[in-house]
Amino acid sequence: KAGVTQTPRYLIKTRGQQVTLSCSPISGHRSVSWYQQTPGQGLQFLFEYFSETQRNKGNFPGRFSGRQFSNSRSEMNVSTLELGDSALYLCASSPRDRVGDTGELFFGEGSRLTVL
Amino acid sequence: AQSVAQPEDQVNVAEGNPLTVKCTYSVSGNPYLFWYVQYPNRGLQFLLKYITGDNLVKGSYGFEAEFNKSQTSFHLKKPSALVSDSALYFCAVRAPPTGLYNQGGKLIFGQGTELSVKP
């Protein structure tokens, strides 16, 4: 099986712009989660989507949003970029096919965003 | 609220020696615990998990972890370290399901421990 695919891998934006990141989960996986990784704050949960619905949300401002499509692919969007949004954005998928699922998350390689 | 602490920013080990990367947690109810490894400019790779059962969990690449409920710890161990084990290691916790839909995709990570294995 192909792993979790994130695009683009690297991108540079300027303050005030917006960015859209894409994530294709492992085939058959219905849940997609997004994380932000920075040297100062570490790994922080952004949100999780399952069956096209946001199920969980972390403590990030409304500038951070996401969505999931019927094929489980997901996108996240950050509007009005700030310097502090520079980070590695990681997407993770899991099967989540039953209540009580305790399986691990499968991470992509990440999208490294630099805001100038 | 759930939390995870990795008290050591960096662990240095000589190749061939045993290694331990420490993790303590705080969670209400029974914890679901995970260890992940991250190599430079890469995503996270799953190593092992503890959900229930034996306190000693065996995982990928010869790693194991010991769950200690009384000390609320979940330390990662390997009997003989390799130079290729050098990487960033993360401990994570997830709250158990509380309703129809659990918090499966939401992990709380520790700050990470940089493991350096020298020849």
As to burial, measured by CB atoms within 10 angstroms (0-12 exposed, 13-18 middle, 19+ buried), residue B54 is exposed
Residue A47 has what pLDDT?
A: 92
- For B49-104, the pLDDT digits (tens) are 998 888 999 999 999 999 999 999 999 999 999 999 999 999 999 865 556 556 66
Give Cβ neighbours of residue B80 (< 8 Å, ≥ 6 apart). Answer: B16, B17, B18, B62
Find the DSSP H helices in chain B: none
Residue B95 has what pLDDT?
A: 62
**Alpha-carbon span A25 to B21, nearest angstrom:** 30
What is the least distance, in Å, from the CA of B38 to any CA of chain A? Answer: 10
- How high is the mean pLDDT of chain B? 91
Q: How confident is the model at residue B1 (pLDDT cuts 50, 70, 90)?
A: confident
A110 touches chain B (CB under 8 A): yes
Partners of A10 in beta bridges: A112
Residues of chain B contacting A90 with CB distance shorter than 8 Å: 43-44
Angle subtended at Cα B24 by Cα B18 and Cα B29, rounded to the nearest 5 degrees: 135
- For A17-63, the pLDDT digits (tens) are 999 999 999 998 888 999 999 998 999 999 999 889 998 888 999 99
As to burial, measured by CB atoms within 10 angstroms (0-12 exposed, 13-18 middle, 19+ buried), residue A99 is exposed
CB pair distance less than 8 Å for B106 and A56: yes
CB pair distance less than 8 Å for A4 and B112: no
